[in-house]
């Protein structure tokens, strides 16, 4: 019997959890949240993502999961 994935939405084929890190911006001295990488929940594979704020790559915070996600 195949286990259901609680993170997989029915209307999307792929859901990527975006892993973030908090770093201090050298120019401003302020802390900022940056993307480290992602994890494809359907395969468990690591996904290479650009180092940028999550919103700039289209990631949105999903309060149900408590993580930034990308859905395709």
Residue 48 lies in a domain: no
- Give, for all 72 residues of the chain, the pLDDT tens digit: 445 555 554 555 789 999 999 999 999 999 999 999 999 999 999 999 999 999 999 999 999 989 999 987
Q: What is the pLDDT of residue 56?
A: 97
Residue 61 lies in a domain: no
Residue 71 lies in a domain: no
Contacts of residue 65, Cβ cutoff 8 Å, sequence gap at least 6:
7, 17
**Under a CB-based contact definition with an 8 Å cutoff, are residues 32 and 43 in contact?**
no
Residue 29 lies in a domain: yes
Residue carrying structure tokens 């594979």: 45
Q: What is the pTM of this model?
A: 0.77
Instruction: For residue 31, give its domain range.
Output: 13-42
């Amino acid at each position: 019997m195949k286990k259901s994935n609680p993170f997989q939405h029915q209307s999307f084929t792929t859901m990527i959890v975006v892993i973030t890190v908090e770093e201090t911006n050298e120019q401003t001295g302020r802390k900022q949240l940056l993307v480290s990488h992602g994890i494809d929940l359907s395969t468990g594979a690591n996904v290479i993502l650009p180092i940028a704020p999550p919103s700039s790559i289209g990631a949105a915070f999903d309060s149900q999961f408590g993580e930034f996600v990308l859905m395709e």
